[in-house]
Amino acid sequence: MTSQVRPKLFTPTTLRGVTVRNRIMLSPMNQHRAHDGYADDGLLVHLGKFALGGFGIIMTEATAIEPRGRVAPGDLGIWSDDHVAGLRRVCDYVRSAGGTPGVQLAHSGRKGASQRPWQGFGPLNEHDAARGEPPWALISPTRESLGPGHVVPDQLSVEGINGVLQSYAAAAARADAAGFEVVEVHAGHGYLIASFLSPVINTRNDEYGGDFAGRIRFALKVANAVRSRWPRHKPLMFRLSSVDGHPEGWKIEDSIKLARELKNHGVDIIDCSSGGLRQSTALENAKRYPGYQVEYASQIRRGADIATVAVGLILDGRQAEDILVSGDADFIALGRQALYDPFWPHHAAQDFGIDSNFDQWDVSAGWWLAKRKDGLSSIGLDGTGKSINAFPKSEQES
């Protein structure tokens, strides 16, 4: 009898010195529920359920390297040594459940001081200030605000840029101290690094602006700063907006060229998103087709010879497996689909016909599900509750 070939989706892989149990990554998704940046029980439960659900790499939401780098008041933070203990508690649990903990280091730039999505997504106003959440000073490559009502950012000087680079390096050291095994730098969606990359936003005429080499200089220095404090045996990701959607903006060809340079600066994987230059990607990408960003992961992977993460309306295991087998990406990231089904990896494995005895599940759940499977089979159902064969006619009539 020929043994079943294990789906690539569920094949463990090693990144530098870190082995991940499968190719499924939880995409960073802002929860906006932290207080002063601290990880709490809510974050432990939120990320813990994805570890129990079988995800390989489990990423935090965008985690601010500076207080002024928050998107909204409730953002998770890593700007203080005091944040490390709470993050370590989360990492320890994720690892104990078989997952690989990852953190996304982020700086909002001019897109900070905003309301939470369910509060309107607009700039913080007097009503927000009245409940104790006033706007704060922002920074950006130039003094152009995100839009009417938004805080006009201070233009970063070269000295100010060096200070931000130090914040990235310090955040990487804290991430290591907390026990994270993967770091991702958020360089997309119109936030600080993406603003430097964009010819639409970055109109500087110094060494950090102008031509392509000038506009990518900050991103490369961020990679150097993070890698200087991030252990060599741990992988480094960069999330890019592969295209920013503006007719005169950042193009896929730019992302390929930047990815080649990032690879030479210690980056191992490109997480391939898109859009967000001025608005929220949650709004921009609400009405797209399944797998609409996979082409970006494919082009960057082939054009820059670097591993990529595909993300964007990847809904089921078969779709994810096809992406990997086709060579379009090395990892699959799930966002809102993961929120809908935190046990997506386990359910996908069941759909592939592997792990029929629930061995990959947490033992306290898998034991019960395996026992239930025996009972279900006696009434014509498989371990997932789906029908195996039609009931005998006599039983249907009784």
Query: Residue 179 above 90 pLDDT?
Result: yes
Task: Quote the CA–CA distance of 345 and 10 in Å, as a whole number.
Answer: 9
Query: Residue 155 above 60 pLDDT?
Result: yes
Confidence of residue 193 (pLDDT cuts 50, 70, 90): very high
Q: What is the arithmetic mean of pLDDT over 188-198? A: 96
Q: What is the arithmetic mean of pLDDT over 47-60? A: 98
Taking only the tens place, the pLDDT of each residue in 243-269 is 988 889 999 999 999 999 999 999 999
Query: Which percentage of the chain shows pLDDT scores above 90?
Result: 83
**Measured distance between the N- and C-terminal CA atoms of the chain, rounded to whole angstroms:** 40
Indicate the burial class of 305 (C-beta count within 10 angstroms; 0-12, 13-18, 19 or more): exposed
CA neighbours closer than 13 Å in the CB half-sphere of residue 378? 4
Residues with catalytic annotation? 191
Per DSSP, 5 falls in state: P
Confidence of residue 356 (pLDDT cuts 50, 70, 90): confident
Taking only the tens place, the pLDDT of each residue in 284-297 is 555 688 999 999 99
Query: Residue 393 above 80 pLDDT?
Result: no
Strands (E), 163-282: 182-187, 236-241, 269-273
Indicate the burial class of 59 (C-beta count within 10 angstroms; 0-12, 13-18, 19 or more): buried
Q: What is the arithmetic mean of pLDDT over 302-318? A: 97
Element (H, E) at 228: helix 217-229
Q: Which of 77, 70, 189, 80 shows the shortest CA–CA distance to 134?
A: 70
Element (H, E) at 345: helix 344-352
Coil, strand or helix at 171: helix
Element (H, E) at 18: strand 18-20
Phi and psi torsions of 26, nearest 5°: -80, 120
Of the listed ranges 306-320, 343-357, 382-396, the least confidently predicted one is 382-396
Greater confidence (357 vs 194) lies with: 194
The pLDDT value given to residue 392: 46
Taking only the tens place, the pLDDT of each residue in 12-30 is 999 999 999 999 999 999 9
Taking only the tens place, the pLDDT of each residue in 315-331 is 999 999 999 999 999 99
Q: What is the arithmetic mean of pLDDT over 154-173? A: 98
Query: Residue 227 above 50 pLDDT?
Result: yes
Domains of the chain: 8-355 (3.20.20.70), 360-398 (no CATH)
Confidence of residue 397 (pLDDT cuts 50, 70, 90): very low
Phi and psi torsions of 179, nearest 5°: 100, 10
Query: Residue 2 above 90 pLDDT?
Result: no
Taking only the tens place, the pLDDT of each residue in 195-213 is 999 999 999 999 999 999 9
Q: What is the arithmetic mean of pLDDT over 221-239? A: 98
Residues β-bridged to residue 24: 332
Residues β-bridged to residue 26: 58, 334
Confidence of residue 131 (pLDDT cuts 50, 70, 90): very high
Per DSSP, 151 falls in state: P
